Structure 1
Amino acid sequence: MPDVPESLPYWIAGAIALFWFVGAYNRLMRLRSAALQAYAVLDVALVRQLDFVQARVAEEVPPATPHESPGASLRAAANQLSTLLAATRLRPLNPTGMAAMSTAMHVMLVAWQRLHPDAVVSFDADGTLSRPATLEGHLEGTEVSAPIAWPEPSAAAEMARGQFNVAVAQYNAAIAEFPAVLVAWIMQLKRAAALR
């Protein structure tokens, strides 16, 4: 019987470590891809809300100067959100960009609610009209965002936001787990931010 090389256990251990690394990396990439796909759906829903707001602002009768218009702050907030949406599309999981977009979105929604207090509809993440309920499928220990009152009477934006936030929470939870945290560190995968 031929002699077994002394390095065989090291080769076996190396092969197991390599297969584990590839498997963990693939899992993280699947979760990251799911978060990116959820952002694409969210982006479409936010653009639709933004188009609705900009169309309503364009219908207003323009005053003598643009700064006298009650919709001037809404127009400025919508333009800022439009710019940040374009910038966030390049790196949708960047926490800084998502925080800036979240702030701009809330500024636009507040400006909209000031001008049209009766023209807002709030939905839960499952598409039903807002009521005290939890988001099904959320991870234990993660907070669920309060429903947002949207200008366009459609549940699409809130459902897309809920799906994106759940995908981000799953991705962040996977990165924080012990063995996968090594893969995330080696591959420089960073935590993502949800849209609050």
Structure 2
Amino acid sequence: MPDSLLWWILGAVALFWFIGAYNRIVRLRSGALQAYATLDLTLVRQLEFVQARLAEELVPVEAASGTAREDAGLKASTAQLVTLLVATRLKPLDPARITALAAALHAMLSAWERLHPDAVISFEADGTLSRPAPLNGRHEGAPVPMAWPEPSAAAEIARSQFNQAVEQYNAAIVQFPALLVAWIMQLRPAAPLR
């Protein structure tokens, strides 16, 4: 009987530990998903800003072909970003989808900056303005802020919060005891939006 009781106690402790570790990982995963929802809203707002400006600036027929090509490039990159945003909403923590979304976002931002070099604004992750010159206090591992079309720090703040939530989730699923829970429940690492 004493051996049986000891095994029941150890089994109960292991079960409660497993449930607690699983709840922690799920909470962190949920935080990353919520951070992505906020990021998605701010990216949609950036897209709406770009699309509204494109609608205002219809290129006349006699415009230079270089401007028309850049305008077409911006329209194409915007359409690609819209498509990838829709695809990423299905699985926002899938590294392949986030990587594709980042590539499309950088393409759209580059096309916007070529057309409107003076109309882009960079913000630090905390929302402070970093344009015209980046802050000198940035250390080597710090993320480089993106230059956004809409003059709002919301997109950079949302991107920073998403990246932090992903880093916390990824750190939780590689810690030793929780690693077993993540392996059993098939929880995979996510990718930040760089």
Question: Residue by residue, what CA displacement relative to the aligned partner does 1:130-184 show, whole Å, maximum 9, x if unpaired?
Answer: 124559xxxxxxx432100000000000000000000000000001100000000
TM-score where L is the length of structure 1: 0.90
Residue number in structure 2 paired with 1:81? 81
Higher helix share: 2
Residue number in structure 2 paired with 1:10? 7
TM-superposed CA distance for 1:5, in Å, is: 4.7
Alignment of 1:35-114 (within 5 A): 35-64=32-61, 68=65, 69=68, 70-114=70-114
Question: Residue by residue, what CA displacement relative to the aligned partner does 1:111-133 show, whole Å, maximum 9, x if unpaired?
Answer: 00000000000000111001245
Distance change in 2, residues 1:80/1:193 (3 Å): same
Between Structure 1 and Structure 2, how many residues are aligned?
A: 185
Residue segments in structure 1 that go unaligned for 5+ positions in a row: 136-142
Residue number in structure 2 paired with 1:185? 183
Residue number in structure 1 paired with 2:193? 195
Distance across 1 between alignment mates of 2:138 and 2:161: 13
Query: How well do the aligned residues superpose, as a CA RMSD in angstroms?
Result: 1.8
Residue segments in structure 2 that go unaligned for 5+ positions in a row: none
Helix, strand or coil at the partner of 1:40: helix
Residue number in structure 2 paired with 1:139? none
Residue number in structure 1 paired with 2:29? 32
Distance across 1 between alignment mates of 2:25 and 2:53: 42
Tell me which moved more, 116-125 or 5-14. 5-14
1:170 to 2:168 alignment = yes
Residue number in structure 2 paired with 1:155? 153
Distance change in 2, residues 1:133/1:127 (3 Å): farther
Distance across 2 between alignment mates of 1:146 and 1:156: 16
Distance across 2 between alignment mates of 1:145 and 1:174: 21
AA aligned to 1:59 is E
AA aligned to 1:174 is A
Distance across 1 between alignment mates of 2:30 and 2:125: 21
Distance across 1 between alignment mates of 2:191 and 2:58: 39
Distance across 1 between alignment mates of 2:51 and 2:143: 26
1:121 to 2:121 alignment = yes
AA aligned to 1:117 is P
Distance across 1 between alignment mates of 2:32 and 2:142: 16
Residue number in structure 1 paired with 2:16? 19
TM-superposed CA distance for 1:8, in Å, is: 1.1
Helix, strand or coil at the partner of 1:6: helix
AA aligned to 1:182 is L
Distance across 2 between alignment mates of 1:162 and 1:155: 11
TM-superposed CA distance for 1:58, in Å, is: 1.4
TM-superposed CA distance for 1:64, in Å, is: 4.4
Distance across 1 between alignment mates of 2:160 and 2:146: 11
Distance across 2 between alignment mates of 1:94 and 1:19: 29
